[in-house]
Chain A
């Protein structure tokens, strides 16, 4: 039975998820994600049962308008944002780990996260009236992309050199981290508090605008990745092998790096800093499918979505009406789990 499930290319209609077991894993994760989303619909300071939430989703005109407002304007966009943000961060992290062939790589490696963070801090702490609220995510995106372009430019040597990319990224991230600390330490306390909530990866301001924005970026930079599993598998084997198999390495790496940067910047701009998701979600996915990117890409996205949704749901449920930022909750519950997984791997 297990042989049937793990045989590659067993079914012709499974082009990406090459093995039946991968399809089963994906389906199981989708079900868990849907279950978590359904549970999340009932969690919050406003009392609402699953039946009431379902009735509202079906267009329950007879139900209280306040309930409909809570569901459609507060909970649903927040849940979708958690799913989309988690998936984007996980995909960005997976790309960075694959491109640098470094399992410790995270989306923030090329400085995009730090660039977006510092941009947002500058806006939130120094010039809160400089931009209309609607343009905050775009500003973070521009800041993140600018830093990423700078890092890639500095690490370019007839193509992207993974080691140089890591070193330059670490250096620039440290510098931007110092700028962020400076702004937090010496900024106006009210504005700093607001910025810290955002830095913690909080979704409490999430709305349909952010859902729309993140959906767009996932379609542009996330969806095409499903067709890049072969290239990623080859890159995983090293540049030499990839070149020998006819891969235009600099071009492919540049394109994939751009996708990672766009996903990170979009996620940071809309849901805040959640580096840990980008680090841990691909590792969790590898427990199910190893390094086969055909399965790793969707499974990482699903794990990322699940992690952030879990973090946000717990953040809302633990100490209401106090809202713990999802990014912090994910790090608190995810870090020990990652350590256990890695310890298990070492014992094999």
Chain B
């Protein structure tokens, strides 16, 4: 259609036209392949644009790559916030390019990137983005953190940094295994409480860590669907040895959900009665390798390095 319109316009103007030219070719390239396809990408990308701050921007920074542009959260009259990356990393020089659901393609084009990284749901923008720079989609929603972080590290040539992070994480997992002999007996529920209910969500890679530690889940949790809102009435179904919730300082979520936690249903939970309810800062880490490492250390301290009670005992 573009070509048709252009041809029409050029004919009308009696001018000679040319077809659209693609993005500037990088000096050296390699072929990157994952479940979303094969893409020819620069060997050493100069300007990487990230379409998701919480997963990709933060993971890039952890790998030692500062993206030139990133999506983020922004209110109308305030500065953009790159979730997960701030305040842990210096984000000066990262250009805000809009929200992750509606990135400003012109802002991306203005940066003249040589690589764009996004998530699976950015597939609908891929055709347009491909005309700006090579686009690689990563399975942050479809696979675990280690998988997509490994792919990202390969993409930007930071495999060694990834291996260092992985080694540290695996060391914590092995340390946990040494101290906790039958982790499957310990049940854990990760959730997020809201003023009017709760959802089963494990932030900062916590669910990956729980799986790698071999900790158990109650039957209701195993059968439940994630990201489905539950009412307070259902909280008893997820009565576990440990319950992990997170708070968001910026949203003052602790005060907003205080009524939920003072309810009799909540107070009667095993974890609450035995001081095995963990309330963690959800912005401390992102869904990244360092997020997993942080979550692993937290669980190590709160489960492996202290006494606890189990419902089975």
Residues on A lying within 8 angstroms of B by beta carbon are: 44-47, 57-59, 61, 65-66, 68-70, 72-77, 80, 128, 133, 185-186, 188-191, 193-194, 197, 202, 204-205, 207-209, 211-212, 319-323
Contact = CB atoms under 8 A, between A and B. Distances in A.
B89 interface: no
A233 B103 CA distance: 46
A45 B110 CA distance: 7
Given A190-B121, A321-B107, A211 B101 contact: no
A70 B132 CA distance: 9
Q: What are the 10 tightest A-B residue pairs by CB atom distance, in nearest-first order?
A: A59-B17, A208-B1, A321-B104, A65-B21, A45-B107, A321-B107, A46-B106, A45-B106, A321-B98, A44-B106
A204 B228 CA distance: 29
A66 B15 contact: no
B128 interface: yes
Nearest to B95: A321
B105 A74 contact: yes
B128 A322 contact: no
11 contacts: A59-B10, A72-B2, A74-B105, A74-B128, A76-B5, A188-B227, A204-B104, A205-B124, A321-B98, A323-B98, A323-B104
A133 B227 contact: no
B198 to A, nearest CB: 13
A69 B2 contact: no
Nearest to A58: B15
B18 A61 contact: yes
B224 interface: no
Main secondary structure of the interface of A (DSSP, over half): helix
B24 A46 contact: no
Contact of B123 (A133, A185, A197, A208): A133
Interface in B92-135: 96-107, 109-110, 112, 121, 123-125, 127-128, 131-132
B9 interface: yes
A133 B122 CA distance: 11
Contacts, number: 115
Contacts of B106: 44-46, 70, 74-75, 321
A95 to B, nearest CB: 27
Contacts of B127: 207
B105 A204 contact: yes
B74 A322 contact: yes
B131 A73 contact: yes
A128 B13 CA distance: 43
Nearest to A324: B76
A239 B249 CA distance: 64
B309 interface: no
B20 interface: yes
Nearest to B124: A133
B2 A322 contact: no
Contact of A186 (B10, B124, B228): B228
Given A58-B13, A65-B24, A194 B121 contact: yes
Q: Which of A70, A76, A204, A320 has the most CB of B within 10 A?
A: A204
Contacts of B132: 66, 69
A178 to B, nearest CB: 17
B22 interface: yes
Nearest to A80: B5
A183 B21 CA distance: 42
A68 B131 CA distance: 10
Contacts of A68: 20-21
A326 to B, nearest CB: 12
Nearest to B75: A322
Nearest to A61: B18
Contact of A194 (B15, B101, B104, B110): B101
Given A46-B109, A74-B105, 18 more contacts: A45-B106, A47-B110, A58-B10, A59-B6, A59-B13, A66-B112, A74-B109, A76-B2, A194-B121, A204-B104, A205-B125, A208-B5, A320-B107, A321-B107, A322-B98, A322-B99, A322-B104, A323-B98
Interface in B1-58: 1-2, 5-6, 9-10, 13, 15-18, 20-24
Given A45-B107, A57-B9, A70-B109, A204 B102 contact: yes
A128 B123 CA distance: 11
A224 B64 CA distance: 61
A322 B125 contact: no
Contacts of B76: 319, 322
A45 B108 CA distance: 9
Given A59-B10, A59-B16, A323 B102 contact: yes
Given A194-B101, A194-B121, A321-B96, A189 B227 contact: yes
Contacts of A72: 2, 6, 20
A77 B2 contact: yes
A68 B109 CA distance: 11
B87 interface: no
Contacts of B124: 133, 205
Contacts of A202: 102
A144 to B, nearest CB: 20
B184 interface: no
B229 interface: yes
A217 to B, nearest CB: 15
B104 A320 contact: yes
Contacts of A133: 123-124
B55 to A, nearest CB: 11
Contacts of A319: 76
A211 B99 CA distance: 24
B1 A209 contact: yes
B285 to A, nearest CB: 19
A44 B102 CA distance: 14
